[in-house]
Amino acid sequence: MKIKFLDLGMQPIANNFLLPSEIKDEFKFHLTVTFDTNTKLVSLGEFVPPARMFNDTYTYHSSGSNTMTNHFRDTAKILKTKFNPETVLEIGSNDGVFIKNFDSNSVVAVEPCGNFANITNALGYKTLEEFWTLPVAKQIVKENGSRDLIYAANCMCHIQNLSEAFSAIETCLSDNGVFVFEDPSLLQMLDRGSYDQIYDEHAHVFSITALKHLLANNGLQVFNVEKLSVHGGSNRVYACKTGTRDIDASVRNSLSEEDAVGIYNVDTYHNFAKRVEQSKHQLLCLLLELKRRNFKIISYGATSKSTTVFNYCGIDDSLIDYIIDTTPSKQGKLSPGMHIPVVCREGNLSRVDYAFLGAWNYEEEICNKENDFLKTGRFITHVPYVRLI
């Protein structure tokens, strides 16, 4: 049975930054979150058609921060050392930040956003402009052979039909191959109150408990779990064909930890929903009070996460003057739903009193480089609770 525990209201496509002329046709959907008492999977109540989100105007590029570029370089190094794969597949290769660390002859990539598939094809990495499906997996096996390493970062949680997606992995994986994927962690979201992990693209927020069953139903087994700090707290899950590898203690430890936090218990999710409501109330009180005192408030990082926060809390340009972001394709546009202008970083942080940290998951990187701003200004974040930095 699916239980709806959170309602974040009508929301736009989180990464759909708009030109003023596009406002009148903006698509919105009802963003709710459910807990499935059978599978323990947390998912959106209503899925958005994938082609609305992932197409050739997709704006998020994975190498947009040093944190993520370094993360993918280090991950490639770790996976090469551990598994020495001869053949690699990346699902959701974005701008190639991960596969660039491998020899192009060994790699096939799958990426539904045409603008990004073009970039990696031009670099010599064979990239299929496709969503990840069983026919695509079969095509790769037929044309290129099975894969020793299949990697997907912040991608599996985007896929609505997980059963087909995992079955396609099993089809494409060599007998001793490893499937490594990383996605935001449900446990971390519950712990941090980071409800802004929830937006159209994140069809599911994974626990190891739910993944274990989903993978097992498709001939796969989790054999290792690593906790990562990226994207506000993620899990890197290592899986293989059932029975082909020893199971590391980290799997049992993760399952016990999830059990202790109460991920089986519906009350855990209802308590989370109450915390989300309080967060909204506190953030609005803070912003309204700062505005009343005539402080200049902006937002730092035009993130998908901030789309959820601004639309759920009803924060528009009467509270936040503008959003600064380093991504050229977002600059000069309006934020989804609340239509706050997005501008470049240069020259737009002076004379600012407070900056809401839309990119709170890069707090360390941003605080390190914004020393000057922090001499007079303060960042505002809502994670794990509303506070000033």
Binding-site ranges for ligand TMP (CB under 6 A): 60, 64-65, 301-305, 325-327, 330, 359, 361-362, 365-366
Compare residues 24 and 375 and give the one whose CB is closer to ligand TMP: 375
> Nearer to ligand TMP by C-beta: 215 or 298?
298
How far apart CA 268 and CA 247 sit, in angstroms, is 29
How many angstroms separate the CA atoms of 79 and 309, rounded?
35
CB of 56 to ligand TMP, least distance (A): 18
Q: Which is nearer to ligand TMP, 286 or 355 (CB)?
A: 355
Least distance in Å: CB of 197 to ligand TMP?
A: 10
| 117 neighbors 94 (Cβ within 8 angstroms) | no
Cα-only R_g, the chain:
21
> CB-wise, 100 or 305, nearer to ligand TMP?
305
Q: Which residues have CB under 8 Å from 289's CB, separation 6+?
A: none
Spell out the residues 6+ positions from residue 63 whose beta carbon is closer than 8 angstroms to its own. Answer: 69, 72, 95, 97
Instruction: Tell me how far, at minimum, the Cβ of 141 lies from ligand TMP, in Å.
Output: 32
Q: Read out DSSP for 264-291?
A: T-HHHHHHHHHHHHHHHHHHHHHHHHHH
Instruction: Closer to ligand TMP by CB, 287 or 323: give it.
Output: 323
User: For the residues of 325-365, what is the DSSP string, one character each?
Assistant: -S-TTTTTSB-TTT--BEE-STTSSTT-SEEEETTGGGHHH
Q: Which is nearer to ligand TMP, 62 or 218 (CB)?
A: 62
Residues in the chain: 389
Distance of alpha carbon 9 from alpha carbon 28, whole angstroms: 10
